[in-house]
A and B are shown apart, each in its own frame.
Chain A
Amino acid sequence: MIGDRLKLLSNPGIFGSAALLAGIALLASRLLLYPPGNAFVFIEVGILFLFYGLLVLGLNLQYGFTGIINFGHVLFFGVGGYATAMLVAPESARGIALGLPWPIGLAGAIIAAALVAGIVGFASLPLREEYVAIATLAAAELFTDVTANLPSITGGAIGYVSIPQPINIWAGGHYGTFLTSTLLVMIGVLSFGYVVFRRLTDGPYGRVLRAIRADKEITDTIGKHVFRYEMEVFVFAAIVAAIAGSIYALFIGAAAPGLYTADVTFLLWIGMLVGGAGNHRGVLAGLGIVMAFELLTRFLNDLPYYTSQQFGALRLAMIGLLLIVIVRYRPEGIWGNAKEQGIE
C-alpha cells in the first residue's frame, strides 16, 4: 500500500504538483521556517540548479534531440529576465520600468522570447552547424553588449536592482521561508518542465527530431519539413528559458548584463555533455554534477593563501580539462546513448 503511494509520488507530474502545493501552502500558512544556517548556501545553489535545469532541458532538446548547436542559449534567459524587469520594476528604476504586476512580466517574457527566437532561429538555423554555433554566440554577446550600453532603456551595466520579489513578499520578508518556498516552487516548475519535454520527445515527434539529428538531408527528403521542426524546437526551448529567466529575475530581484554572460551557456554545455545529450534526466544529472563540483571546490579554500587566490584559476582550468576529456573519451556522456547520438 505504502509502496503504491510512493510509486505515485515518483511520477514527476505528481511529484511536481506536490512540491508546488507544498511551496504555496508554506507561504499561505505564514509559518516561519528556519533551515540550519550551513544549509543556506546549498539551498541557494540548489535553486540556481533548478533554474539552470530548465535551460539545460531546452538546450538538450535542441542539441541532444535535434542536433542544433546553440551557443547562445543564455540569451533567452536574459531576454526573459529583462522583459520582466522592464515591465515589473518600479518606475524609479533607471531604464524603462512600468511597475506592472508580475504575471504581466511573465507573459511579456514569453512573448519577447518567441519574437527573439523567431528572428535568431530564422537567421541561424539554415546555416551549417558550426556556423549556427557562431551565430547564436554572437547574438548572445550582442544582447549583453547592447543592454550594458543603453542606460536609459535597459539600465546600463547596473541594470535593474529593485525588481519586486513576489515570493519574498508572500513570505513576509523572512529569508528562511522565502528560500525554502522558492526551492519547493522551483522543484515543481522543473518537474513540470521535465514532464513536458519528456512528452514531447517520447512520441513520434521525438522520432522526427532524432532523425533530423542523425541526418538532416534524408529526413528532408522523406517529406518532413526539417526547418519547421528546427524552428519549433528552437523557439519552444527559448520560451522555456525565458520563463526561467523571468522567474529568476523575480527571485533575486535584479536583472543585469553580468547575469547573462557566456559563462552560463558554457556551464550548460558542459553539464549536458557530461550527463549525456539526448537524455533528459542525464543532462540534469550532468548539470548537477558540474555545479556540485564548483560548489564543493569552493569549500576547499582552506589551504594556504597562495593556493586560495589561485584556486579560482585552478578550478576553471579543471573545468576546461573536463570538457576536453569528455569530448575525447566519452562524447556520449555518462548516461547518453552512443548509438542514438551517432557516435561510433
Chain B
Amino acid sequence: MVSTQTLIFGLVIGSYIGLAAIGFSLIHGLVNMFNIAHGEYMTIGAYLSFVLMNQLGLGLFVSLVLGIAATSIAGLAIAKFFYQPLYETGPIPLLLTSIGLSFLLRNVIQLGFGADNKYLEGGLTGVYRTDALGGFFLQYSQALVIALALLTILLLHLLLTRTELGIAMRATSNNETLAQITGVATIRIRDYVWLLASGTAGLSGILLAQQRTLTPALGYNDILIILTAAILGGAGNVYGAVAAGFFLGIVSATATSMLPSGMASLATSVIFFMLIVALIVKSHVIEGNRGVIAT
C-alpha cells in the first residue's frame, strides 16, 4: 500500500513535470514539433528569477509575474527567429533545429552567468503538518507548485473553451488547412501558443530553481521526462500531459520507496522504459492521428 505521504511526494514531483510538460505539449500539438530547447526556456525563466530575486531583491510573487512575462516574450522571439522559417518543412528539421538551439542557449547562458552553482534566495519556507489520512507533511513551496500546476491547467482550459483565441487554437490543431480556409491566421495563433508555452516553461523553471541548484543545465536535465509526460498524455493533449506528469511523479516516488536498495536509482530508468512501452502501445493510435488538443 502506498502511503499518503508517498502520494504527496509523487504529486509534488508530478507537478514539476506536468507544469513543464504543458508548454511542451502545446507546441507539439500546435506547431507539430518536439521542442528539445523547451528545457532551456525553463532555464531562462530560472536565471531571470535569479536576477530578479537575488540581485534585485524582489519578492517571490513579483518575480514570478515578471519572470513569466519576460520568458514568454523571449521564447516567442526565439521561436520566430529560429523556428518560424521552418514551419512548412516538417517535424524533423524543426526537431534538429531545436537540438541545436538547446546547445546554443544552454552554453550562451553559461557564458553569461558562469557554470557555477547558484541558489535562489527569498523562496517560500515553512511546512504544514497534519495527522489526518495517516499523517503527512507538505512544504509550502511544494503546495505552491501543486497549486500553480492546477491553476495553470484550469486557466488553460478556460482559455481553450471560452475564448475566441482558444477555439481558434483548437481548430488549428485539428485541421490546419481547414482552419486557414475559414480565416484563422495560423501564424498568429502559433505566436500566441509560443507565448503560452514559453510562459509556462518560465514558470516551471522558476519553481524548479526554488528547490534545486541553479545551473545552466537546469532545464536540460529534465527534458526527457517532460517529453515522456507529453507523449504519454497524447500529442498536444495538455490535460493528458499534466495527468501523465502526475502519474510519472507518483511512479517515481513509489519506485523510490519500494525498489530494493541497490537499485533505487533505477527509478529514472523505469520512466524511460515506460516511454518506450507507451510509444509501442500508442503506435497504432499515433499513425492516423495528428496533434489534437482533446477536450
Question: Which residues of A pack against B, CB within 8 Å?
Answer: 69, 123-124, 126-131, 133-135, 137-139, 141-142, 145-146, 149-150, 266, 269, 273, 310, 313-314, 316-317, 319-324, 327-328, 331
Q: A128-B287, A314-B107, A324-B82 are in contact. Are A134 and B97 (CB under 8 A)?
A: no
> Which A residues touch B263, using CB under 8 A?
149-150
The 10 residue pairs across chains A and B that have the minimum distance between CB atoms: A320-B103, A323-B100, A320-B104, A317-B107, A324-B100, A313-B107, A313-B110, A142-B272, A320-B100, A145-B269
- 19 pairs across A/B with beta carbons < 8 Å? A123-B280, A126-B283, A131-B279, A134-B227, A138-B275, A139-B272, A141-B272, A146-B269, A149-B263, A149-B265, A310-B110, A313-B107, A316-B103, A319-B100, A320-B102, A320-B105, A323-B96, A327-B100, A331-B93
Q: How far is the CA of A316 from the CA of B108 in the complex (A)?
A: 9
Complex: A320 Cα to B91 Cα, angstroms: 18
CA distance A316 to B103 in the complex (A): 7
Count contacts on B: residues with CB < 8 A to the other chain: 41
Closest to B269 in A: A145
Residues of A within 8 A of B93 (CB): 327-328, 331
Query: Is A124's CB under 8 angstroms from B97's CB?
Result: no
Task: Return chain A residues, CB-CB under 8 Å to B103.
Answer: 316-317, 319-320, 323
Q: How far is the CB of A60 from chain B (nearest CB, A)?
A: 15
* Contact yes or no, B272 A327, CB < 8 A: no
Within 8 A of A (CB), among B253-294: 263, 265-266, 268-269, 272-273, 275-276, 279-280, 283, 286-287
Task: Give the complex CA separation of A324 and B91 in angstroms.
Answer: 14
What is B's interface to A at a CB cutoff of 8 Å? 34, 82, 85-86, 91-93, 95-97, 99-108, 110-111, 115, 224, 227-228, 231, 263, 265-266, 268-269, 272-273, 275-276, 279-280, 283, 286-287
A320 near B110 with CB under 8 A, answer no
Query: Are B276 and A324 neighbours in the complex by a CB distance under 8 Å?
Result: no
**Residues in A whose Cβ lies below 8 Å from that of B86:** 327-328
Q: How distant is A38 from chain B, measured CB to nearest CB, in Å?
A: 29
Known: A145-B266, A149-B265, A317-B111. 14 other contacts (CB 8 A): A133-B95, A138-B224, A138-B276, A142-B272, A145-B268, A145-B272, A313-B107, A314-B107, A317-B103, A317-B104, A320-B103, A323-B96, A323-B97, A328-B85
CA distance A69 to B96 in the complex (A): 11
- What residues of B have a CB within 8 angstroms of the CB of A150 in the complex? 263
In the bound complex, what is the Cα–Cα distance between A310 and B227 (angstroms)? 30
A344 to chain B, nearest CB (A): 9
Q: Are B97 and A135 in contact (CB under 8 A)?
A: no
Q: How many A-B residue pairs have CB under 8 A?
A: 113
Enumerate chain B residues within 8 angstroms of A323, measured Cβ to Cβ.
96-97, 99-100, 103
- Chain B at the A interface: mostly helix, strand, loop or mixed? helix
B111 and A124 within 8 A (CB): no
* Nearest CB of chain A from residue B182's CB, rounded to whole Å: 27
B99 contacts A266, CB within 8 Å? yes
**Chain B residue nearest to A128 in the complex (CB):** B286
Could you say which of B100, B111, B275 contacts A313, with CB atoms under 8 Å apart? B111
Contact B283 A127 (CB under 8 A): yes
Q: Once the chains are docked, how many angstroms separate the CA of A311 from the CA of B71?
A: 27
Is A130 within 8 A of B266, CB to CB? no
Provide the bound-state CA to CA distance between A145 and B224, in Å: 13
Contacts of A139 in B (CB 8 A): 272, 276
B104 touches A123 (CB 8 A): no
Residues of A within 8 A of B102 (CB): 320
The residue on A at minimum CB distance from B280 is A123
Residues of chain B within 8 A of A134, CB atoms compared: 34, 227, 231, 275, 279
In the bound complex, how far is the Cα of B100 from the Cα of A322, in angstroms?
A: 8
State how many angstroms separate the Cβ of A26 from the closest Cβ of chain B. Answer: 40
A283 to B111: give the CA distance in the assembly, Å: 31
Instruction: Determine which residue in B99, B106, B227, B263 has the highest number of CB atoms from chain A within 10 A of its CB, and name it.
Output: B99
CB distance from B227 to the nearest CB of A (A): 6
Q: Are A138 and B272 in contact (CB under 8 A)?
A: yes
Does the CB pair A123–B276 fall under 8 Å? yes
Given contacts A69-B92, A127-B279, contact A324 B286 (CB under 8 A): no
B29 → A minimal CB distance (Å) = 13
A322 to chain B, nearest CB (A): 7
> B286 to chain A: closest CB distance in Å?
6
A residues less than 8 Å from B91 (CB atoms):
129-130
Q: How far is the CA of A124 from the CA of B278 in the complex (A)?
A: 11
Cα of A319 to Cα of B107 in the assembled complex, Å: 10
Partner of A131, one of B104, B108, B286: B286
Which residues does chain B contribute within 8 Å of A273, judged by CB atoms? Answer: 96
> Which of these, A127, A145, A314, contacts B111 with CB under 8 Å?
A314
CB of B267, distance to nearest CB on chain A (Å): 10
Min C-beta distance of B173 to chain A, whole Å: 16
Q: Chain A residues near B34 (CB, 8 Å)? A: 130, 133-134
How far is B105's CA from A259's CA once the two chains are assembled, in angstroms?
A: 25
Q: Is the CB of A127 within 8 A of B266?
A: no
Chain B residues with CB under 8 Å of A328's CB are 85-86, 93, 97
Q: B99, B107, B228, B272: which contacts A316 (Cβ < 8 A)?
A: B107
Instruction: Report whether B104 and A321 are in contact in the complex, using a CB–CB cutoff of 8 Å.
Output: yes
Q: Which residues does chain A contribute within 8 Å of B82, judged by CB atoms?
A: 324
B275 lies within 8 A of A146 (CB): no
- Complex Cα gap A331–B94 (Å): 12
